[in-house]
Amino acid sequence: MIHQPPAGARDLLPLEVVQKAWINDRLQQVFGGWGYQRIVTSTIEWLETLMAGGAIQHSTVIQLQDNSAGQLGLRPELTASIARAAVTRMADTTYPQRLCYRANVFRNPPSGHHGKQLEFYQAGVELLFAGGILADAEILLLVADCLEQLGIPQWQLLIGEAGVTRSLLSPFPDPLKSQVCHCLAQLDYVTLENLDYPSSHLKERAQLLFDLRGNATEVLEKVAKLELDKAGEESINNLKSLMRLINDSRSKPLPLTLDLSVIQTFDYYTGIVFKAVGKTDNQLHILGQGGRYDQLLGVYHPKGQSAPGIGFSFNVEDLYACLLNTSILPQLAPSIDWLIIPQTDEARSTAFQYAQNLRDSGKNLRVAIDLGGRSEAEIREYVQQNRVQQLAWIPEKGEPIIEVIFS
């Protein structure tokens, strides 16, 4: 039997680990520059916590065996866990709370997609107990700063508004509404056009919804021709103010598309929603996603008190895909600085001491010991393959013989 990871899982080998660590480290550096502090939450949560008050589908969560105190699951995203921690563990912290993370998440693939990836790596932020346009602008500008600091070659920000989208969908009866939402989320115009509409008016509205993306000014002009409820009109006005603030806050225009058909996978968003999209060889990558969730914190509060929040997560795999063919990522795994080779059995303890002295020198050296059983030719082949910088041949008595291989 050839042992392989289970379907939907994969191993990361040293170079890929180094490259993805570079992405994560750069993101954490940018997050810190904006005042965010890292938080680490449990990989395992109560299923009730992970479902975020019903906003996350039961089928999305990979569940563990029954526990005597309740059902457990692996987190499918971080926002719910961080919201739970902020409300229950950080109640005495001054507001707003700026929290960031880097972590793995786990999701069941959709039905009929056996073998699809189950484990994903994300990095993101949550800005909690902060509402209004300033907080929205901070998050969007932070997304842009991250992508620019990483050097992503081609990217664009798609911005929608959950309140406006809900208002636009309100005339549709419930079963049809969910079908329209699915078509919008999947960009499936063919299915959208062939749904069973009770009137031509609703079909035209669905088609218009599909086309509400593009230049912000042009999209807002189209929306102005549609009937919106009071909350929808207020959301549109806030969106206009946000667009102005973002544009006035940057030295160069943000690559931005207003897309009021943007619908996120998880249904706890109440305000702006957005996706960052990249492109490689005519293939689109969802680099990240996020939005405002002003009801989620109340799910975890002992008294049900709601508080505003907004955040986003980057998909490290997709960032990696967009950087893989550039010279930005590290191109090699770290080399060994020194290989220490005891020439006799009696020299082994001296070799270990010599290696430790090098490690203690404060130069952050990578020092390995040759473990014996190889000829000099085999040692030199190992040195070439692993890009060892220097050799130290340790005799039983006398001074080490130093060889500089790469410098």
**Residue that is last in its domain, among 274, 295, 323:** 323
Asked if residue 3 belongs to a domain, the reply is no
Confidence grade of residue 1 (pLDDT, cut at 50, 70, 90): low
Do 144 and 182 fall into the same domain? Answer: yes
Do 163 and 273 fall into the same domain? Answer: yes
d(CA 44, CA 125): 20
Do 156 and 248 fall into the same domain? Answer: yes
Query: What is the rounded average pLDDT for all residues in the chain?
Result: 90
What CATH number does the domain containing 366 carry?
3.40.50.800
Do 383 and 264 fall into the same domain? Answer: no
Do 64 and 196 fall into the same domain? Answer: yes
**Residue that is last in its domain, among 276, 291, 323:** 323
Asked if residue 160 belongs to a domain, the reply is yes
**Cα→Cα distances 256→109, 214, 237, 398, Å:** 30, 9, 18, 68
Do 345 and 311 fall into the same domain? Answer: no
The amino acid present at 35, given as its one-letter code, is: G
Token pair, residue 118, equals: 């189950």
**Closest by alpha carbon to 97, among 32, 37, 29, 31?**
37
**Residue that is last in its domain, among 323, 357, 373:** 323
Which tens digit of pLDDT belongs to each residue from 146-191?
999 999 998 999 999 888 888 888 889 988 988 898 888 777 899 9
Asked if residue 331 belongs to a domain, the reply is no
Determine which of 83-87, 265-269, 374-378 has the lowest per-residue pLDDT on average. Answer: 265-269
Asked if residue 332 belongs to a domain, the reply is no
User: What are the beta bridge partners of residue 276?
Assistant: 157, 288
Asked if residue 333 belongs to a domain, the reply is no
User: In terms of DSSP H, where are the helices of 310-387?
Assistant: 316-323, 348-359, 376-385
| Interior/surface letters 131-167, b for 16+ CB within 10 angstroms, e for the rest | bebebbbbbbbbbbebbeebebeebbbbbbbbbbbbb
Asked if residue 250 belongs to a domain, the reply is yes
Q: What is the mean pLDDT of residues 223-248?
A: 86
Contact between 50 and 80 under an 8 Å Cβ cutoff? The reply is yes
Contact between 391 and 402 under an 8 Å Cβ cutoff? The reply is yes
Do 144 and 39 fall into the same domain? Answer: yes
State pTM to two decimals. Answer: 0.89
Do 240 and 367 fall into the same domain? Answer: no
Q: What is the DSSP string of 161-229?
A: EHHHHHHHHTTS-HHHHHHHHHHHHHT-HHHHHTS--SSHHHHHHHHHHHT-EESHHHHHHHHHTS---
pLDDT at 113 over 70: no
Asked if residue 244 belongs to a domain, the reply is yes
* Overall domain count for the chain: 2
Q: Name the residue range of residue 218's domain.
A: 14-323
Do 241 and 277 fall into the same domain? Answer: yes
**Closest by alpha carbon to 313, among 284, 357, 281, 276?**
276
Confidence grade of residue 41 (pLDDT, cut at 50, 70, 90): very high
Do 176 and 137 fall into the same domain? Answer: yes
Token pair, residue 288, equals: 């990240």
Asked if residue 112 belongs to a domain, the reply is yes
The amino acid present at 107, given as its one-letter code, is: R
Do 100 and 127 fall into the same domain? Answer: yes
User: What pLDDT does residue 56 have?
Assistant: 76
Do 254 and 148 fall into the same domain? Answer: yes
What CATH number does the domain containing 251 carry?
3.30.930.10
- Residue 49, number of CB atoms within 10 A of its CB: 23
